[in-house]
Structure 1
């Protein structure tokens, strides 16, 4: 009976849950996960967790636009758990988050990418690198092609610390 008192609503579907994301939504998220998450080249591997749609898209939207920073912590924890089950061995890697503009940070009160990245690092033991800063604001990138995004982001960031001998 007391357990019911401590339940909360799932952040994604609003149903009663023992965690911030209920089991049904966790299953929906898991169904979006890629089986082969590696892309890019041997020199620059890129890892993607899953398909940007459904429950994952809702989770990210709630994290970014609905003042739910704890979803970033939860998502980073889940990504870290998944990472540890893969064959990827990269103890010398560092993880960075894309910094927000000052205006967006003021509006949200937190950087959603940093919340995810820091929780991921806590779970995996990888290092968080905070040497990337935004030099100018940009428009929101949804709706743009990869080429357009690249052009918009030209010179929008700089490093404040050396990247020498670091794999980010």
Structure 2
């Protein structure tokens, strides 16, 4: 069971991680704009123009993957909310059902019998399982997109640096 302090630290970390992802995606987009504005067309081959085009493509791919990563983060938070809702609802229903009493839904005014509570409990257990499976899928997707975005950024930076120093290396 988490405490208020651990929840605050977790949400602070989550907020900071999201801001950092926005920043990195924004930097990648700015690099696409910069390279797109300064790019000059040249012959394909081992020359700075071709390497800059490769860097532009890598930064564009990093931007796209970065936006998809942000989209997956929003989906992750939605799935986490769904799982927590299902678990909390199941807990409240299980408490009432275990005592053999009826339960009043204060939001709707509906009264549930013990049998209806057991049916609702099963429904929430199924929802919890589905949300947990979705969370597991999203964790894999988030990790993959994070690695891919960073790989494209690193590749783009390497190509850009190589494009800048290539004229000094080649005769």
Ranked by relative contact order (alpha carbons within 8 Å, sequence separation 6 or more), the top structure is 2
Q: Which has the higher helix share?
A: 2
* TM-score, normalisation: structure 1: 0.23
* TM-score, normalisation: structure 2: 0.23
* Larger gyration radius, structure 1 or structure 2: 2
